[in-house]
Chains A and B, each alone.
Chain A
Amino acid sequence: MDATLKKQLEIFAVKERLLLMEGIFNAKAGHPGGSLSIAELLAYLYNVEMKVDPKNPKDPNRDRFVLSKGHAAPALYAALSLKGFFPTEDMKTLRKSDSYLQGHPNMNKIPGVDMSTGSLGQGISAAAGMALAAKLDGKDYRVYTILGDGEIEEGEVWEAAMFASAKGLDNLLVIVDNNNLQIDGTVEEVNSPYPIFEKFEAFGFNTIAIDGNNFDEIEDAVKKAKKFKGKPTAIIAKCVKGKGVSYMENAVNWHGAAPNEELYNVAVQELTAALKELEA
């Protein structure tokens, strides 16, 4: 990847992390771990890959994004606000009773959100429906969806995978955030979804494994997916849950808890230092 672009994306990802932490801290609730893990994926999709226009968020020809792991809403909102879909200041209102920034994505309230999600396993079905609509309409827009590795324990994910493959939805890109943790522990401890790669391959997907916090690997995989015809692509992205905030990294207890003021300040210090270094 071009060095200038990579730096821009790295800066964007740190800004996402700062904003999502601000939202969760002010809400005193939310899901920081699985939001921090997908910052690079969102940064790449929204800055490089997807055709979307913050001035015309309902453009019928836009690319679609469905956050199937809807609890990572703070990361999506951070990316959307940085792209200008709504003011970044509004991140402070996350989960408040008078805010449009609902705890989980709401397509009717939040500009740039293409599907209401939150109940795990359902977003990928809707994404497949959108990809089917593009095919039926002869349009060239693509559909992107991010799932959690715990989420794929839901049977509906595999109904959708079978469907997307059977209908040849090569305009659908499924990304699994394989951060290895879910609420009750590691995914192996709870109800192992492994082998994930082989499962998607067996369901008829073009399957690619990457480091999901590495922009070079993200770019390479997403470009390959776009070129691949006849089958949908699944990117199994190894990500670090809690990435960028030292005490949250690979820590199961930060799945769905907000930091207190002291720990929030630590997160801000770490992320601000990372931002300064990148901008230097």
Chain B
Amino acid sequence: MSEIIKTATRDAYGKALVELGNTDKKIIVLDADLAAATKTGMFKKAHPEKFVDCGIAEGNMMGVAAGLASAGYTVFASSFAMFAAGRAFEQVRNSIGYPHLNVKIGATHAGISVGEDGASHQCCEDIGLMRTIPGMVILNPADDIEARLCVLAAAEHDGPVYMRFGRLAVPRVFDENYKFEIGKGAVLKDGTDVTIIATGLMVNEALMAAQRLADEGISARVVNMATIKPIDRDIIVDSAKKTGVIVTAEEHNIIGGLGSAVAEVVCETVPVPVLRVGVNDVFGKSGPAVQLLHEFGLDADNIAAKAKEAVKLK
């Protein structure tokens, strides 16, 4: 059996930035004193002339990013999700979102898997916040392959993008031939009884859940939804029609994230049951990341249990 490759999506972010820095694209990378953790430090080392540390002042960093973007730069502004989407929400909304400027927010350390730092740093609200900003694109890659492609696609996209990366090393899901397109979900495994729509590190868990469900005679379709906004309505509608029930899985509050986005589409098109796996509207806590993911039900077991529950609703 081949060894499972595990990489944090934040690492892929840093590497992809270095790659972009090697092209002639007019980019600049900003950070708020977290370059070692967000992995923009890799870019700083490779391209010091295109890197600016803004210090511990995320609101100002987003405004500076807006000013640079207005002068023709494609700007990557990085911090932890908590501060990028949380603290600087209004700067992102008014200085970047409203004028639709070319700023790409690289938000790392999203979700419970931040681990030991605990609730103050475990941002499970960012997707909900960013989704409400008109014109904002939200990308939440499942592994390092997809994270790299998200960064490259964001650089080519005209307008603001919020990219969500994790601290924890996660298993590789895709191979080198994987194609990524903003706004497109992907069926990773087809099935007929239930659809599991997952995002981020929950995609791998969803695939494992599907395996377990197959052993019990339940055929699960698995959809990877790396773009949370604009959401791929077609793949949701198709899944609802084909399998009649949907389970969503995300490392985010069950309020406002992928589950909400999917439920919105389903309610308006093919009303079928949608059950959500996510952080159940509680704050996180300190602990080893993997242990916390299990404790908060962000794993294959819980997805499989929810899927069985969903099938009973048919």
What CA separation (Å) do A160 and B71 show in the bound complex?
18
B66 to A125, Cβ gap below 8 A? yes
Shortest Cβ gap from B228 to chain A (Å): 25
B67 to A125, Cβ gap below 8 A? yes
B90 within 8 A of A: yes
B99 to A137, Cβ gap below 8 A? no
Known: A115-B99, A132-B52, A166-B55. A60 touches B91 (CB 8 A): no
B112 within 8 A of A: no
B63 to A167, Cβ gap below 8 A? no
Shortest Cβ gap from B97 to chain A (Å): 10
Q: Which residues of B from 49 to 83 have beta carbons under 8 Å from A?
A: 49, 52, 54-55, 57, 59-73
Chain B residues with CB under 8 Å of A180's CB are: none
B94 to A160, Cβ gap below 8 A? no
A256 within 8 A of B: no
Q: Which residues of A from 149 to 174 have beta carbons under 8 Å from B?
A: 155-156, 159-160, 162-163, 166-167
Counting contact residues on chain A (CB < 8 A from B), the size range is 20 to 34
Selected from B68, B90, B99, B100, the residue in CB contact (under 8 A) with A133 is B68
Shortest Cβ gap from B37 to chain A (Å): 20
A114 within 8 A of B: yes
B55 to A162, Cβ gap below 8 A? yes
Number of interface residues of B (CB under 8 A): 28
Chain A residues with CB under 8 Å of B63's CB are: 122-126, 128-129, 156, 160
B65 to A129, Cβ gap below 8 A? yes
Q: In this complex, what residue of B is CB-closest to A157?
A: B60
B64 to A125, Cβ gap below 8 A? yes
Chain A residues with CB under 8 Å of B100's CB are: 108
Chain A residues with CB under 8 Å of B94's CB are: 116, 118-119, 122
B28 within 8 A of A: yes
What CA separation (Å) do A160 and B60 show in the bound complex?
6
Known: A129-B63, A129-B65, A162-B57. A116 touches B95 (CB 8 A): yes
A163 to B95, Cβ gap below 8 A? no
A159 to B99, Cβ gap below 8 A? no
B72 to A60, Cβ gap below 8 A? yes
What CA separation (Å) do A159 and B71 show in the bound complex?
21
B55 to A133, Cβ gap below 8 A? no
What CA separation (Å) do A121 and B72 show in the bound complex?
23
A133 to B73, Cβ gap below 8 A? yes
B55 to A122, Cβ gap below 8 A? no
B72 to A133, Cβ gap below 8 A? yes
Chain A 175-208, CB-CB to B under 8 Å as 1, else 0, gives: 0000000000000000000000000000000000
What CA separation (Å) do A236 and B256 show in the bound complex?
45
Chain B residues with CB under 8 Å of A159's CB are: 57, 59-60
A115 to B66, Cβ gap below 8 A? yes
Q: In this complex, what residue of A is CB-closest to B98?
A: A116
A126 to B55, Cβ gap below 8 A? no
Shortest Cβ gap from B81 to chain A (Å): 20
Selected from B28, B59, B69, the residue in CB contact (under 8 A) with A136 is B28
A130 within 8 A of B: yes
Shortest Cβ gap from B136 to chain A (Å): 15
Known: A60-B72, A156-B59. A132 touches B99 (CB 8 A): no
What CA separation (Å) do A159 and B91 show in the bound complex?
13
A163 to B60, Cβ gap below 8 A? yes
B68 to A132, Cβ gap below 8 A? yes
A134 within 8 A of B: yes
A127 within 8 A of B: yes
Known: A108-B99, A132-B52, A136-B28. A125 touches B68 (CB 8 A): no
A163 to B57, Cβ gap below 8 A? yes
Known: A116-B99, A122-B91, A159-B60. A129 touches B67 (CB 8 A): yes
Chain B 220-263, CB-CB to A under 8 Å as 1, else 0, gives: 00000000000000000000000000000000000000000000
Extra pairs beyond A133-B68, A163-B57 (6, CB < 8 Å): A60-B71, A115-B95, A116-B95, A125-B60, A129-B65, A130-B68
Q: List 29 A-B contacts (CB under 8 A).
A: A106-B98, A107-B70, A115-B66, A115-B70, A115-B99, A116-B95, A116-B99, A119-B95, A125-B64, A126-B63, A126-B70, A129-B63, A129-B68, A129-B69, A129-B71, A130-B68, A131-B67, A132-B67, A132-B68, A133-B70, A136-B49, A156-B63, A156-B91, A159-B57, A160-B60, A160-B64, A162-B55, A162-B57, A166-B55
